[in-house]
Chain A
Amino acid sequence: MTAQPLLDVHDLTVEFSTRRGIVKAVQNVNISVAKGETLGIVGESGSGKSVTSYAVMRILDRAGRIAEGSVMFSGIDVKAATENEMRDLRGREISMIFQNPRAALNPIRKVGDQIEDVLRQHVQSAASDRGEKAIEALEQVKIARPRERYHAYPFELSGGMCQRVVIALALACNPQLLIADEPTTGLDVTTQKAVMDLIVELTKRRHMSTILITHDLGLAAAYCDRVVVMEKGRVVETAKSADIFAKPEHAYTRKLMRATPRIGVSLRDLLPEEEGAQAPPPPSVMAGLDPAIHQSSNDSSSEAMDPRVKPGGDDITKPLLLVEKLVKEYPRQGASAVLSKLFSRKPPVEAEIFRAVDGISFTVGHGESVGLVGESGCGKSTTSMMVMRLLDQTSGRIAFDGEEIGAIMPQAFARLPLRKSIQMVFQDPTDSLNPRFTAARAIADPIMQLGDIRGRDALRARCEELAGLVGLPVNLLDRFPHQLSGGQKARVGIARAIALHPKLVILDEPTAALDVSVQAVVLNLLQDLKQSMGMSYLFVSHDLNVVRLLCDRVIVMRAGRIVEQGSSESVLGDPKDAYTKELLTAIPHPPLPVH
């Protein structure tokens, strides 16, 4: 390490004044970044990793302030600098890229103009060639047709493309330090790899230092020289990334590493050692809190469930869900089509058609869990929506439990008794809950729509029973979504989905928004529920490691087609298709699995 670090954060404490008094978001944090070094800051949500970086750039919001400690950036005292000095530092010396790239760009300004704004601010070029510089910046981040993209608005670009624009924006003025705050969260694995490789390539070429803030240990290990692990506003461990995976010192680091899904472990292995034994209580134990309810439900469910499970096991020719040659087409909304729509009465000469789902066939057996993987835009969500009858397919058939549901109009399907048997768990546990409904009300909703339980007390009892099944403490049932944690909200979503004893649950990235340790618990819960209730899962995900752990079979989709399907072991262990191989190699792996 060089004698003079580029960035030296010493004993930093950041306070936020809230209604309940002062909260210390970051306490006595020491971090240093040498020139050309890549430092990873790893931690789960609420660990203070983002706040630390905001403090470095002094872009904390109004309520926050640096209470103690110092931040020195190449000899400049950030804490004491004037606002004008800071403004010159931001974007020119230190720049930042953010999570959720689409929101990080001004939605109503052309991306080229946004890059020019930065160039103009830091007087990086004469007005005459600023446009060229902006195009060059777009070219550097490997955006195809940069001259055209210059005039694009963020909503016209994909997530990965937006992140490239944000990187172009951040690197436009050749800063010395780049802070990347969860730059690839929400992006596909291959896009993640492309974006991370791009960041590394660009920063290495310019001898820049990088701080990578992430919740993903694998990502940090793959791209960082050193890793800082933070928990609840404190640094718990700092080490070279190779060392930290070989011999993690702190219990929290070990817990994080255990919870990260990876090759060669089972779902149970993800849970913390001390909790591993008793944490995933079989649902019978949980529901045992109320023996009466549990008894009755178990009886009814075992009666109801067994005949369903058995024929599924015996009669292999009749899968629970059969999808055949399913096609969904959309009229392509190209720029030319829109223009011709606006300026002439004639429809465009040839209506271009985009096939989101292009003739796919697959089955889901009784009690089976099938992973539907692929990158965004591959049609996996469209497929799940057609199976749910939220969308009408263009052609093809969908049979569920022996009944043709493909011909049922989406509007009519919601009222059919069959609708009970297909339920869905959504990606974002927050957005998929009505903010004005309590947890109990949310769970009771499907029962009130389609179920046969009537009366306030019976509903309440059923909600409590379901809460027990998903491990949600009963006293949280009267809380509103904003009063629950991410994991608790995920449990509410799952309880809602299983409320009507569905045969098939479609899980649309149910853990994508959760911290790894919470994800570990939720995945185990899903596994337990599947076993005890005999449900089938259609698990839509882009995270192959998670799919490997939870699913019996995997279907890999690309551009509306199935490129490969088979058992999880064979597809993910020994992929045949080039695309599957590409997906697998794109996953960042921690150097060593821990046991």
Chain B
Amino acid sequence: MLTMIGKRLMFAIPSLIGVVIVTFLLTRALPGDPAAYFAGPAASKEAIEQIRKKLGFDKPLIEQFFRYTNDLAHGDFGTSLTTGQPVATEIRNRLPASAELTLLGLIVSISIAIPLGVLAATRPGSWIDHLCRVTTTAGVSLPVFFTGLVLVYLFYFRLGWSPAPLGRLDVFYSAPPTVTGLYLIDALIAREFETFRSALSQLILPAATLAIFSLAPIARMTRASMLAVLASDFVRTARASGLSPSTVIVTYAFRNAMLPVITTLSMVFSFLLGANVLVEKVFAWPGIGSYAVEALISSDFAPVQGFVLTMAVMYVLLNLIIDILYGVIDPRVRLEG
């Protein structure tokens, strides 16, 4: 098992190197001059040139690259020009915010989408099947910023049930001592239940927005794969042996149907983690998505490179977890590993 994990991580190294090279070149190829941006609109030519020199952008590309990789090897992701903070610190602070949001959104979405998909598959043509179809269609066709704004309008502005969509915590609370970086868990560890409540109430709306969006692929996949498994020979055997519908559906059909659903889950998760910029914007969420986009707009190379590299590492880890999960569910996979 450990060897397998080690081997998988080894295989990921070439792709990570590729990511480093490509992001480095891409950021350099982008239009916009970071020195000019940094110097401000009123700066003189000389001032810009001076800054360029200070930042090392006057050096040949290859030298810049070597300096960059050397820094990387020492765990230095560089410093953001706009915030003046080291990129590593910022990502460390912001990644948990994104992860917490995405995870909660995904948990909510799984706990709705999977039962919905299973029920729709076991009762094709029933009202629940139609409900599933409507929900999934609505989920994909409503853009997240729209659902987000509607939720804010409804629950904050109209009903006043939820707090102002301004970040991870109400201004009156301070963040719990960092253990995992996820406020909900940290608050529980520190036994600060008021903080937990506040963090949760801040999380609900953005998480719901994400959940509505990610519901569709998961529910559809669950339904389709359940339908396929329910039509298979071994489900017929289970039925012919008189097993109760719950055993047939849960033990026989669902576990087999889980395999493609898990793959979908991993794709949805990694997509959400990096791509929920719009949600982060709407709810002023200090996540890495909005961080990367802001950096990109201001031609701030270091955070962009840091972001892409972080995402690549996340992808590798996520795929590894999925493969291990696959092995746990499907004994046939274990042998081939």
Residues 64-104 of A, flagged 1 when their CB comes within 8 A of B and 0 if not, give 00000000000000000000001111111001101010011
Q: How far is the CB of B9 from chain A (nearest CB, A)?
A: 15
Residues in A whose Cβ lies below 8 Å from that of B4: 342
In the bound complex, what is the Cα–Cα distance between A104 and B235 (angstroms)?
8
B240 to A117, Cβ gap below 8 A?
A: no
- Name, among B232, B240, B335, the residue most crowded by chain A CB atoms within 10 Å (CB to CB): B240
| CB neighbours of A454 from chain B (8 A) | none
- Establish whether residues B234 and A104, one from each chain, have CB atoms under 8 Å apart when the complex forms: yes
Find out whether the CB atom of B241 lies under 8 angstroms from the CB atom of A153. no
Assess whether A433 is interfacial by the CB under 8 Å rule. Answer: no
Q: Is A439 an interface residue (CB 8 A)?
A: no
Cβ of A107 within 8 Å of any chain B Cβ, yes or no, is yes
A108 touches B329 (CB 8 A): yes
Chain B residues within an 8 Å CB radius of A483: none
In the docked arrangement, what's the CA distance between A591 and B243, Å?
Answer: 40
Q: Are A104 and B237 in contact (CB under 8 A)?
A: yes
A117 in contact with B247 (CB, 8 Å): yes
B-chain residues with CB within 8 Å of residue A62 when the two chains form the complex: 124
User: Across the interface, which residues of B come within 8 angstroms of A96, CB to CB?
Assistant: 237, 240
Given A59-B236, A59-B239, A342 contacting B3 (CB threshold 8 A): yes
The residue from A106, A107, A122, A333 contacting B242, defined by CB atoms under 8 A apart: A122
Residue of B nearest to A152 (CB): B331
Residues of B near A87 (CB, < 8 A) are 242-244
Taking CB atoms, residues of chain B closer than 8 Å to A95 are 240-241
Task: Report whether B331 and A100 are in contact in the complex, using a CB–CB cutoff of 8 Å.
Answer: no
Is there an interface contact between A109 and B251, defined as CB atoms closer than 8 Å? yes
Q: Given that A103-B233, A342-B3, A343-B1 are contacting pairs, would A153 and B331 also be in contact in the complex, using a CB cutoff of 8 Å?
A: yes
B103, chain A: closest CB distance, angstroms: 27
Q: Does B58 contact A (CB under 8 A)?
A: no
B332 touches A88 (CB 8 A): no
CB distance from A522 to the nearest CB of B (A): 27
- Min CB distance, B332 to chain A, in Å? 5
Given A62-B124, A343-B1; A105-B237 close (CB under 8 Å): yes
Interface of B is mostly: helix
Q: How many angstroms between the C-alpha atoms of A118 and B244 in the bound complex?
A: 10
Q: Mark B311-334, 1 if CB is under 8 A from A, else 0.
A: 000000000000000000111101
| A263 contacts the other chain (CB 8 A) | no
The residue that B241 contacts in the complex, of A90, A108, A333, with Cβ under 8 A, is A90
**What residues of chain B lie closer than 8 Å to A107, measured between beta carbons?**
234, 256, 330, 332
Query: Within the complex, which residue of B242, B330, B332, B335 is in contact with A121, where a contact is CB–CB below 8 Å?
Result: B242
- Does B252 reach chain A (CB closer than 8 Å)? yes
**Bound Cα distance A104, B239 (Å):** 11
| CB of B255 within 8 Å of the partner chain | yes
A92 to B243, CA, bound (A): 10
- Establish whether residues B332 and A153, one from each chain, have CB atoms under 8 Å apart when the complex forms: yes
A155 within 8 A of B: yes
Closest to A103 in B: B233
Closest to A87 in B: B242
| Cβ contacts under 8 Å, A121 to chain B | 241-244, 247
In the assembly, what is the distance between CA of A108 and CA of B255, in Å? Answer: 8
Q: With A and B bound together, what is the CA distance between A344 and B2 in angstroms?
A: 9
CB-CB under 8 A from B3, the residues of chain A are 341-345
Q: How far is the CA of A155 from the CA of B252 in the complex (A)?
A: 16
Determine if A103 and B243 form an interchain contact, defined as CB atoms under 8 angstroms apart: no
Contacts of B335 in A (CB 8 A): 333, 338
Partner of A105, one of B124, B234, B240, B244: B234
User: Is the pair A57, B241 in contact by a Cβ cutoff of 8 Å?
Assistant: no
Binding site for A on B (CB under 8 A): 1-4, 124, 231-234, 236-244, 247, 251-252, 255-256, 329-332, 334-335, 337
Q: A98-B237, A118-B243 are in contact. List 20 more A-B contacts (CB 8 A).
A: A57-B240, A61-B231, A87-B243, A88-B242, A90-B239, A90-B240, A91-B240, A96-B237, A103-B234, A108-B256, A108-B329, A117-B238, A117-B243, A118-B241, A121-B242, A121-B243, A121-B244, A121-B247, A122-B242, A345-B3
What are the 4 tightest A-B residue pairs by CB atom distance, in nearest-first order? A91-B242, A90-B242, A91-B241, A103-B233
10 contacts between A and B (CB under 8 A): A59-B240, A90-B239, A106-B238, A108-B330, A108-B332, A121-B243, A155-B331, A155-B332, A166-B237, A342-B337
